[in-house]
Amino acid sequence: MSTPTPHNSAKLGDIAKTVLMPGDPLRAKYIAETYLKDPLCFNTVRNMLGYTGTYNGKTISVMGGGMGMPSVGIYTYELFNFYDVDNIIRIGSMGAYADSIKLGDLVIAMGACTDSNYVNTFNLPGHYAPICDYGLLKKAVDTADSLGVKTVVGNILSTDVFYADDPDFNAKWLKMGVLGCEMEAACFYMNAARAGKKALCMFTASDHLFRDEHLSAEERQTGFHDMMRVALEAFA
């Protein structure tokens, strides 16, 4: 397919090789206006805002992806396959499971379990284990260490269900050592693998699902800033 696409009004060349992708398009706008120099908006279709600017002299883009794998599946597929993007870094929030995770910690998904049927679109003759790119993972961890930002690295859950009917849903995943849950990472990793590109998903632990803990608005902003420092210093 040629560009623009039905979902993205950018032309080929408008989007950088590396894209940071929060779920909320207004968060993409905030990132562009707060952290990037001379950001230019390349997409407003369906209000899924996208911007390209520079950070420390290097061109980088940021674009919203929406909620859930059906939404980010479209945007990541088009970025990888139609816009020649090489790396997509998810920057979002997650609900923590593991007792070792404190609110505000930076959680990096080495792997992403899922209950989604998205993987079935690839018609594989078995089960697929979605994992991140190791090079991006190492760079993020090394950068976080240099900035004094605590990281927790491991397996997370990308679920299609926000309101689970099974009251033991989260506990069953915790028993398998899963760190926490969100709704998109597995799709990032599958689309990147199929396209021969790279993806990494990073999260601020905004809630703890077994301790009924939640970050305040101010604490969310501080945790988000730490995540953004790591993402921009590592990948811009």
The catalytic residue positions are 207
Q: Is residue 42 a contact partner of residue 51, using CB atoms and an 8 Å limit?
A: yes
Q: Is residue 122 a contact partner of residue 194, using CB atoms and an 8 Å limit?
A: yes
Q: Report cis status (omega within 30 of 0) of the bond before 125.
A: no
Q: Is residue 186 a contact partner of residue 76, using CB atoms and an 8 Å limit?
A: no
Residue among 97, 95, 80, 84 nearest 190 (CA): 80
Residue among 80, 70, 67 nearest 18 (CA): 80
Q: How far apart are CA 229 and CA 34, in angstroms?
A: 12
